[in-house]
Amino acid sequence: MPTVAAPELKSLRVLVLGGTGEARRLAERLARAPGIDAVMSLAGRTNAPLDVGMPTRIGGFGGVEGLMRYLTEAGIDRVIDATHPFAARISANARAACAALGVPLAVFSRPPWRVREGDRWTEASDNESAARALGEAKRRVFLTIGRLGVAAFRASPQHEYLIRSIEPPESQDLPPLSTVILARGPFEREDEIALMREQRIDVVVTKNSGGASTYAKIEAARALYLEVIVIAPPAYGDIPRLADLDAAMVFLGASATP
Ligand code: NAP
């Protein structure tokens, strides 16, 4: 009697664009999921990236074209963009490459912070408009936007800046009246209040990065009744946003079958 071969189950090939805690959590879940064959992509910004328990590729793809080539050659069926909300270039590249190839794409990232009672927020669309929003009169500014955005504040040289970043900004990027402190979150509310008091801060400038680890500066500013200039994250357009890990599994699960 002829034997009928069982249909071969094809795993769903998933590319996770990473570099965040959210991507690591997603990787842990995907590594345990049957029928999913995922690969993590990191930009290569840190020298010793954490093991995420799945195959990892490191380094840029070479723009939209390079990403399209990778998606095709690696046979990727789905892409999840779990990069930092302010990693705008790779997210735009993912949108363009996936749209061109018809590969479904979703965004998995933390929601931005929302203004709460007692907050004194001024919203800005980018670093340049945040620098303008500081106004003409000299102020003491706590600048916590990452080292790469600091140069935009050279356009407002009258202010005194306390700049906090993980790695030092380039010296040519610094506004003339700058002090740099190096620190990596998470930060505590009481420590942030103490720092802002000691440094006689008038205004805080931050990216709206969402998440808990750097939220203490927002709470401290609220407690001290300080203005916070909040730079909005870039828009995602109409790309579906996955609210949690279960939503990510639904996005993948529908096609994780033969
Ligand atoms: P970006 O400006 O959006 O990306 C710059 C270039 O880096 C991209 O065009 C791409 O190069 C490459 N790249 C970025 N993320 C990649 C990834 N996951 N896999 C492969 N290539 C990637 O990004 P960024 O702001 O420099 O951030 C770089 C990485 O650090 C991201 O993975 C992000 O999740 C993480 N991160 C960023 C921030 C932030 O505040 N921006 C904070 C924490 C972590 P090609 O064009 O050559 O493909």
CATH numbers and ranges of domains, the chain? 12-111+235-251 (3.40.50.720), 120-231 (3.40.50.720)
Each residue's pLDDT tens digit, 204-234: 999 999 989 899 999 999 999 999 999 999 8
Q: Is the CB of 23 under 6 A from ligand 1?
A: no
Q: Is the CB of 88 under 6 A from ligand 1?
A: yes
| Three-class SS of 203-245 | EEEEECCCCCCCCHHHHHHHHHCCEEEEECCCCCCCCCECCCH
Q: Is the CB of 146 under 6 A from ligand 1?
A: yes
Helix (H) or strand (E) holding 36: strand 36-42
| C-alpha of residue 2 to centroid of ligand 1, in Å | 54
Q: Is the CB of 157 under 6 A from ligand 1?
A: no
Tell me which of 20, 83, 147 to substitute to probe ligand 1's pocket, judged by most ligand atoms within 8 Å of the beta carbon: 83
**pTM of this structure:** 0.84
> What's the confidence (pLDDT) of residue 6?
59
> What's the confidence (pLDDT) of residue 97?
98
Q: How many CB atoms lie within 10 A of CB 104?
A: 15
Q: Is the CB of 218 under 6 A from ligand 1?
A: no
Q: Is the CB of 108 under 6 A from ligand 1?
A: no
Q: Nearest to residue 150, comparing CAs of 173, 171, 133?
A: 173
> What's the confidence (pLDDT) of residue 236?
75
> What's the confidence (pLDDT) of residue 257?
39
> In sequence order, which residues have a C-beta less than 8 Å from that of residue 192 and are 6 or more positions away?
216, 217, 219, 220
> What's the confidence (pLDDT) of residue 161?
98
Q: How many CB atoms lie within 10 A of CB 198?
A: 9
- Residues of the chain with pLDDT below 70 are 1-9, 47-49, 254-258
Q: Which two tokens stand for residue 41?
A: 């992509």
> What's the confidence (pLDDT) of residue 8?
61
Q: Is the CB of 90 under 6 A from ligand 1?
A: yes
Residue nearest to atom 26 of ligand 1 (CA): 87
Atom of ligand 1 nearest to the CA of 90: 3
Atom of ligand 1 nearest to the CA of 88: 3
Q: Nearest to residue 140, comparing CAs of 209, 208, 221, 219?
A: 221
> What's the confidence (pLDDT) of residue 1?
57
Quick one: DSSP state of residue 153? G
Q: Nearest to residue 128, comparing CAs of 156, 148, 147?
A: 156
205-223 burial, b at 16+ Cβ within 10 Å, e below that, comes to: bbbbbbbeebbbbbbbbbe
| C-alpha of residue 29 to centroid of ligand 1, in Å | 22
Q: Is the CB of 93 under 6 A from ligand 1?
A: yes
